[in-house]
Amino acid sequence: MLELKSSDIRLDADAADKSVAISLIVADMVADGMVAPGYEAGMHVRETQTSTYLGNGIAIPHGTPETKDQVLKTGIKVLRFKQGIDWGDGQIVYTAIGIAAKSDEHLTILRQLTHVIVNDELSERLHKTEQVAEVLSILKGEQFEPTLHMDTHLIRTNVDIQYVTEAISLAASALFAQGLCSTQERDELINSEALDFGDGVWINTVKTTNSRPALAIVSSQSTVQEASGPFNILLSLTSNGKAHKPLYDRLLQLQRDGKLSQLTNEKNADKLLRLLKMEALEGESIEIRLPIEQGLHARPASHLAKLIKQLNADIWVENLDGNDGAVLGTSVARLIGLGFSHGDLMRFTVTKCDDPLSVLHQLSTAVSEGLGDEVKPITATHSPQILPTAVEAPAQESVEYNEKISGLCGAPGLALGTARTKIKQDFSYPENSKDRPGESHRFQDALHQLSKALNDSLAQETNEAKIQILTMHIELLDDPEFVEATQGFISSGKTAEWSWMSSVEQIASSLEQHSDALLAERASDYRDLGYQLMMILTGQQEQLTDTQPHIVIADEINPSDVVKFDKNIVQAIVTAKGGVTSHAAILARAAGIPLLVGCGPIVLNIADGTPLVVDCDNRFFMVVESDSALDDLREEQAQRKADYERAYEDRFLPATTVDGVNIEVVANISSSSQVEDTLEFGSEGVGLFRSEFLYMAHPQEPTHEQQVAEYKAALDAMATENQPLIVRTLDVGGDKPLPYLAMPQEDNPFLGVRGARLSLLYPDMLKRQLRALFEAADRGLLRVMFPMLSDITEWRAIKEIYNEVADEFPGIQLELGMMIEVPSAALMADVFAKELDFFSVGTNDLTQYTLAVDRGHPVLSKQADSLHPAILRLVKTTVDAAKRNDIWVGVCGELAADPLAAVILLGLGVRELSMSQTAIPQIKAQIRSIDSSEAKALATAALEAESTEAIRALDRTGVTA
Give the separation between CA 174 and CA 188, rounded to whole angstroms: 14
Is residue 340 within 8 Å of residue 290, measured between CB atoms? yes
Give 72 or 853: the residue with its C-beta nearer to ligand PEP: 853
Partner that binds at residue 199, options Mg ion, ligand PEP, none, CB closer than 5 to 8 Å by kind: none
Q: Apex CA 351: angle with CA 292 and CA 369, to 5°?
A: 20
Give 58 or 788: the residue with its C-beta nearer to ligand PEP: 788
Q: Apex CA 247: angle with CA 241 and CA 248, to 5°?
A: 85
* 303, 550, 583, 868: the active-site residue: 583
Binder of ligand PEP out of 843, 917, 926, 932 (CB under 6 A): 843
When asked if residue 339 is in the footprint of ligand PEP (CB under 6 A), the reply is no
Beta strands in 682-768 (DSSP E): 686-690, 724-728
Rounded least distance, CB 406 to Mg ion, Å:
19
Site for Mg ion in 135-164 (CB under 5 A): none
Give 146 or 752: the residue with its C-beta nearer to ligand PEP: 752
Give the separation between CA 269 and CA 277, rounded to whole angstroms: 12
Give the separation between CA 729 and CA 719, rounded to whole angstroms: 24
Site for Mg ion in 845-874 (CB under 5 A): 845
Rounded least distance, CB 150 to Mg ion, Å:
35
Site for ligand PEP in 935-954 (CB under 6 A): none
Rounded least distance, CB 842 to Mg ion, Å:
4
Site track 828-847 with Mg ion (rule: CB under 5 A), x = hit? --------------x--x--
Partner that binds at residue 603, options Mg ion, ligand PEP, none, CB closer than 5 to 8 Å by kind: none
When asked if residue 726 is in the footprint of ligand PEP (CB under 6 A), the reply is no
When asked if residue 845 is in the footprint of ligand PEP (CB under 6 A), the reply is yes
Partner that binds at residue 508, options Mg ion, ligand PEP, none, CB closer than 5 to 8 Å by kind: none
How deeply is 532 buried, as exposed, middle or buried, from its count of CB atoms within 10 A (0-12, 13-18, 19+)?
buried
Site track 856-895 with ligand PEP (rule: CB under 6 A), x = hit? ------------------------------------xx--
Binding segment toward ligand PEP, per CB under 6 A, in 93-101, 224-232, 323-331, 842-850: 842-850
Is residue 887 within 8 Å of residue 835, measured between CB atoms? no
Number of helices (H), then strands (E), belonging to the chain: the values are: 36, 31
* 181, 409, 616, 892: the active-site residue: 892
Is residue 892 within 8 Å of residue 902, measured between CB atoms? no
Q: Which of 892, 957, 931 is nearest to 661 (CA)?
A: 931
What is the phi/psi pair of residue 928, to 5°? -65, -20
For the question of residue 583 being annotated catalytic, the response is yes
320-323: Cβ within 8 A, 24+ apart: 320/287, 320/344, 320/345, 320/346, 320/347, 321/345, 323/149, 323/150, 323/151
Partner that binds at residue 557, options Mg ion, ligand PEP, none, CB closer than 5 to 8 Å by kind: none
When asked if residue 851 is in the footprint of ligand PEP (CB under 6 A), the reply is no
How deeply is 510 buried, as exposed, middle or buried, from its count of CB atoms within 10 A (0-12, 13-18, 19+)?
buried
Which residue has the closest beta carbon to Mg ion? 845
Give 302 or 843: the residue with its C-beta nearer to ligand PEP: 843
Binding segment toward ligand PEP, per CB under 6 A, in 34-42, 211-219, 836-844, 927-935: 836-844
Give 99 or 688: the residue with its C-beta nearer to Mg ion: 688
Give the separation between CA 769 and CA 805, rounded to whole angstroms: 10
Give 194 or 905: the residue with its C-beta nearer to ligand PEP: 905
H helix runs in 205-291, sequence order: 245-256, 260-265, 269-277
When asked if residue 820 is in the footprint of ligand PEP (CB under 6 A), the reply is no
Rounded least distance, CB 731 to ligand PEP, Å:
6
Is residue 221 within 8 Å of residue 166, measured between CB atoms? no
What Cα–Cα distance (Å) separates residue 46 from each residue in 50, 503, 788? Answer: 6, 28, 60
Rounded least distance, CB 893 to ligand PEP, Å:
3
The answer for residues whose C-beta is within 8 angstroms of residue 123's C-beta and 6 or more apart is 56, 57, 58, 116, 117
Give 552 or 714: the residue with its C-beta nearer to ligand PEP: 714
Half-sphere exposure of 699 (CA within 13 A, CB side): 6
Give 173 or 691: the residue with its C-beta nearer to ligand PEP: 691
Rounded least distance, CB 771 to ligand PEP, Å:
23
For the question of residue 868 being annotated catalytic, the response is no
Give 656 or 916: the residue with its C-beta nearer to ligand PEP: 916
Give the separation between CA 23 and CA 35, rounded to whole angstroms: 12
Rounded least distance, CB 820 to ligand PEP, Å:
9
Is residue 662 within 8 Å of residue 654, measured between CB atoms? yes
Site for ligand PEP in 527-586 (CB under 6 A): none
DSSP single-letter state for residue 294: T
When asked if residue 690 is in the footprint of ligand PEP (CB under 6 A), the reply is yes
Give 843 or 878: the residue with its C-beta nearer to ligand PEP: 843
Is residue 728 within 8 Å of residue 818, measured between CB atoms? no
DSSP reduced 3-state for 418:
strand
Is residue 195 within 8 Å of residue 203, measured between CB atoms? yes
Binding segment toward ligand PEP, per CB under 6 A, in 87-95, 502-510, 838-846, 943-951: 838-846
Rounded least distance, CB 696 to ligand PEP, Å:
12
Binder of ligand PEP out of 343, 417, 842, 909 (CB under 6 A): 842
Beta strands in 639-705 (DSSP E): 655-656, 662-669, 686-690
Rounded least distance, CB 296 to ligand PEP, Å:
43
When asked if residue 821 is in the footprint of ligand PEP (CB under 6 A), the reply is yes
Binder of ligand PEP out of 844, 885, 918, 940 (CB under 6 A): 844
Give the separation between CA 451 and CA 470, rounded to whole angstroms: 10
Is residue 951 within 8 Å of residue 704, measured between CB atoms? no
Site for ligand PEP in 892-931 (CB under 6 A): 892-893
Single-letter code of the amino acid located at 662 = N
When asked if residue 821 is in the footprint of Mg ion (CB under 5 A), the reply is yes
Site track 884-913 with Mg ion (rule: CB under 5 A), x = hit? ------------------------------
Question: Which residues of the shown chain bind Mg ion in the complex (CB under 5 A)?
Answer: 821, 842, 845
Residues annotated as catalytic are 583, 892
Question: Which residues of the shown chain bind ligand PEP in the complex (CB under 6 A)?
Answer: 688, 690, 731, 821, 842-845, 892-893
